Each structure stands twice: as C-alpha cells, then as structure tokens.
C-alpha cells in the first residue's frame, strides 16, 4: 500500500475571546438538540441531507478506512417495508425479549413498539458499518476500530443535522438484519443505526429530561479516583 504524501497542516489559531464565544454558542446550539419521535411530513431539501453525510464522512477512522455507508431512503414503499419489519421486531422485543430491568429503564421515555416516524419523516437515513472491504478484484481487507469510527461519524451526522436545522432520532430496532435484506446491501455491511430526518411535527412533545452537569461527567487528574483499579 502506498504512503500518503505529507502536506502542511491548514490550521489557524483564533483569538481567545472568539474561541470562548464560539464554545458558548456551540454549547447553546447543540444543547437545544432533542431526539424527535414525532415528525412533520413537510419536504426537506435532499442536498441538506447530502451535506450532513459529507460532514459525517469527515470523521476520523481506523487506518482511514472510513468504514461507513449511508443509504438515503425516501421511497414510500421502502419506508413502509422498513416500518413493518421494525415494528415486528420491536413488538417481540417489548413483549418478550427485553428484560424487566430494561423496560423499567425505558418507561420514563414512554417509547413503545409503534414507530409511525418511520413513515412520517420525509427521509430515513440508514447508516451501515463496513466490517471489511472488498476490492474490485474480490480481495478482502480488514477494517479497524469499526464501531468507534462509525459511532464518531454518527455523532458528527447528528450534530450537523441539528446545526443545519433538521430533527432526527437515533433509532435502533433490534435485531436490525432486515435492513440489509430490504435495502439489498452487500454482505460486508452491518446495519448500525436508522435516522428518521425531517422537521418536528407542529405538536411534537419531548420528555422534560435534564442533562448531567459538567461536574458529573468530568473529573480533573485523580479527582474522584476509585479504590477498585
Ligand atoms: N429500540 C427500541 C427500544 C429503545 C431502547 C433504548 I436503550 C432507548 O433509549 C429507546 C428505545 C425502540 O426504539 O423503541
């Protein structure tokens, strides 16, 4: 495999004050993001979805393999097939596969096996993780840190959609094998997440949840160290 040619990094230091302002502004903007489960069917410009995919695809990845693939679905028939298959799995999960502890944890969110957003949202983006690569001549090569890489790309996708002004949800029907079958994806692609994307319904409500404060998610040096390690 050939090596990448080193080139000078394009990086400009910013004024401290501007950096602080930007950080505060970003926290405020991204802090207002909520998972949306109730969508308007108002149309969305597909180029916005494409830009968000390009932004997600700037994510760092193991050995720069970029082991992700985004399928944009707006065909009503495909959306219906996906909804039907997802609800079938979800019904089994909610009825018998999820242990009581899991159901208890979900209860405050009020979710159930009915998933109208899979039809109402104008777009579904299905993110697949590429477990390995297959070259044109059929040779297979490994990918590295696949779930980390795809998880980072998913996070950047969510942030991009929100900053662009669109709503989404990380939907994870389980198991998700039906997505590969319905969308006829190759065997090296594993379904990772479904993102319904659109504008929130006019009457959309979200749970009044609070996020952990900085002190709860960050410690400095050995602060709060554990005896167990
Ligand atoms: N996948 C199911 C259940 C579900 C699980 C978790 I963990 C959530 O945070 C939310 C839902 C569903 O989509 O309903």
pLDDT of residue 2: 78
95 burial level (CB within 10 Å; 0-12, 13-18, 19+): exposed
Q: What is the pLDDT of residues 81-100, one digit of tens each?
A: 999 999 999 999 999 999 99
Name the H helices within 124-204: 146-164, 177-182
Atom of ligand 1 nearest to the CA of 90: 2
Angle formed at CA 29 by CA 27 and CA 121, multiple of 5 degrees: 135
CB-ligand 1 contact for 106 (6 Å cutoff): yes
Nearest protein Cα to ligand 1, atom 11 = 111
Closest to 93 in 3D by CA, of 149, 14, 174: 174
pTM for the model stands at 0.96
Query: Whole-angstrom Cα distance, residue 153 to residue 99?
Result: 30
- The residue ranking higher by pLDDT, 184 or 110, is 184
Q: What is the pLDDT of residues 136-146, one digit of tens each?
A: 999 999 999 99
In sequence order, what are the residues at sequence separation of 6 or more whose Cβ sits closer than 8 angstroms to the Cβ of residue 104?
A: none
Mean pLDDT for all residues in the chain = 97
Say how many Å lie between the CA of residue 187 and the centre of ligand 1. 26
Angle formed at CA 114 by CA 110 and CA 119, multiple of 5 degrees: 120
Element (H, E) at 62: none
Q: What is the pLDDT of residues 186-195, one digit of tens each?
A: 999 999 999 9
Residue 217 pLDDT more than 80?
A: yes
Say how many Å lie between the CA of residue 155 and the centre of ligand 1. 17
Atom of ligand 1 nearest to the CA of 173: 1
Q: Take residue 86 and report the two structure tokens written for it.
A: 């997802």
Q: How confident is the model at residue 180 (pLDDT cuts 50, 70, 90)?
A: very high
Closest to 128 in 3D by CA, of 86, 187, 82, 51: 187
Residue 1 pLDDT more than 80?
A: no
CB-ligand 1 contact for 173 (6 Å cutoff): yes
Residue 158 pLDDT more than 90?
A: yes
Q: How confident is the model at residue 15 (pLDDT cuts 50, 70, 90)?
A: very high
CB-ligand 1 contact for 172 (6 Å cutoff): yes
Closest to 117 in 3D by CA, of 70, 155, 78, 171: 171
Mean pLDDT score, 113-135: 97
Q: How confident is the model at residue 198 (pLDDT cuts 50, 70, 90)?
A: very high
Secondary structure letter of residue 129 according to DSSP: E
CB-ligand 1 contact for 90 (6 Å cutoff): yes
Nearest protein Cα to ligand 1, atom 6 = 106
Mean pLDDT score, 50-75: 98
């Amino acid at each position: 495999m050939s090596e990448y040619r080193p080139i000078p990094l394009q990086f400009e230091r910013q004024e401290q004050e501007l950096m602080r302002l930007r950080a505060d502004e970003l926290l405020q903007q991204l802090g207002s993001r909520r998972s949306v489960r109730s969508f308007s069917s108002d149309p969305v410009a597909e180029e916005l979805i494409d830009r968000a995919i390009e932004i997600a695809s700037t994510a760092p990845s193991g050995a720069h393999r970029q082991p992700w693939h985004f399928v944009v679905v707006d065909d009503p028939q495909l959306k219906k097939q996906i909804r039907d298959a997802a609800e079938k799995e979800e019904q089994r999960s909610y009825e018998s596969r999820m242990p009581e502890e899991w159901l208890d944890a979900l209860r405050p969110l009020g979710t159930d096996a009915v998933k109208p957003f899979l039809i109402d949202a104008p777009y579904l983006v299905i993110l697949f993780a590429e477990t390995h690569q297959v070259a044109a001549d059929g040779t297979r090569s490994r990918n590295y840190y696949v779930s980390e890489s795809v998880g980072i790309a998913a996070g950047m996708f969510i942030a991009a959609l929100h900053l662009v002004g669109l709503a989404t949800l990380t939907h994870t029907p389980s198991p998700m094998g039906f997505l590969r079958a319905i969308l006829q994806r190759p065997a090296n692609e594993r379904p990772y997440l479904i993102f319904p994307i659109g504008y929130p319904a006019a009457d959309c409500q979200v749970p009044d949840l609070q996020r952990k404060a900085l002190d709860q998610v960050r410690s400095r040096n050995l602060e709060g160290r554990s005896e167990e390690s």
